Amino acid sequence: MWRRVTSLSPVISTSKPTSLDQAALGFKIWRSSFSTETPTLVKDGPTSFKERNLFITFVLGGPGSGKGTQCHKIVETFGFKHLSAGELLRREIESNSEQWSQMLNTIKEGRIVPSEVTVKLIQQEMESSDSNKFLIDGFPRTEENRIAFEKFTGLEPNVVLFFDCPEEEMVKRVLNRNEGRVDDNIDTVKKRLKVFEILNLPVIDYYSKRGKLHKINAVGTEDEIFEKVRPIFSACAGK
C-alpha cells in the first residue's frame, strides 16, 4: 500500500487537529461509497484499459497557469476528453454536501486529498467514457498521486504538459477570474502555490527524465500559448 496523506504532514500541518480528525473520518466514509474491492480494480483495470489503446496526457501547472483554458482548446482541436481532478472532487463534494464539509475545507486550505480518492474518481470517468484520448488536468499533484495512478490503472501518460508561469502572474489571474470558487482568495492562492512548488516539482522532474515532459511558457495570450501546444499534439496525434 502506498503512503497515506499523513506522510505529508510537515507540509500541510494545521493547528486544528480536531478538524483533521473529522476530515480523516470523512475520507473513510467517502472511500466506502466506492467499490472496496481494491484487488479487483488493480487486476481488471489494466487489461480493459490496454485493450482500448488509450492516449493519456497529464496536464500540470500551478493555479492560474492557464492549463484549464488550454485544455479546452486541445479538446476542441484534437478531440480529447477533458478530466479535471479538481472538478471531479468538487462535484463529488457537492453531491454529498453533509458528509464532505471537511473535504471542502481541505481544498480551501490547499491541502492534498488522499490519492486513493482522486485516482478512483478519475478511473471511473475513464471507464465510463467512449473516448480513448484523455487530458487529465491537475493530476498528478504528488509522487504519491503518480504511483497510485500507475498501481490502480497499470498505465502511464503518453505526454505530460507543464505550463510554466511566474508566481505573480498566476496570483493575478486567479484573483481576476472571479468564478465564485471557494478556493480563490489571496491567502489560499499563496498556500496552493506553495504546495504546488513543494509537491509537484518532483513529478515534473520525474517525467522530464523519462522524456515525456513538454514545458510550455505560459505567458502571453491564450492563442499565443496554444500555438506552443499545438505542435505537440499535431505530432503525437498525426494531425
Please write the tens of the pLDDT for every residue from 125-150: 999 999 999 999 999 989 999 999 99
Higher-confidence residue: 115 or 79?
79
Give the span between the Cα atoms of 210 and 114, in whole angstroms.
25
Domain residue spans of the chain:
43-237
At position 7, the amino acid (one-letter code) is S
Give the span between the Cα atoms of 149 and 85, in whole angstroms.
12
* Three cell numbers, residue 156: 502511464
On the question of pLDDT at 229 being above 90, the answer is yes
* Three cell numbers, residue 181: 470558487
Residue with cell 502506498: 2
Q: What is the mean pLDDT of residues 98-103?
A: 59
Please write the tens of the pLDDT for every residue from 43-75: 344 445 556 789 999 999 998 899 999 999 999
CA 114, 120, 121, 122 dihedral sign is: positive
On the question of pLDDT at 175 being above 90, the answer is no
Does pTM top 0.85 for this prediction?
A: no
Helix, strand, or coil here: 212?
coil
pLDDT of residue 189: 82
Q: Please tell me the CATH superfamily of domain 43-237, with its number.
A: P-loop containing nucleotide triphosphate hydrolases (3.40.50.300)
Q: By C-alpha distance, which of 57, 8, 23 is closest to 163?
A: 57
Are 54 and 132 in contact by the 8 Å Cβ rule? The answer is yes
The per-residue pLDDT of the chain, averaged, comes to 76
pLDDT of residue 99: 53
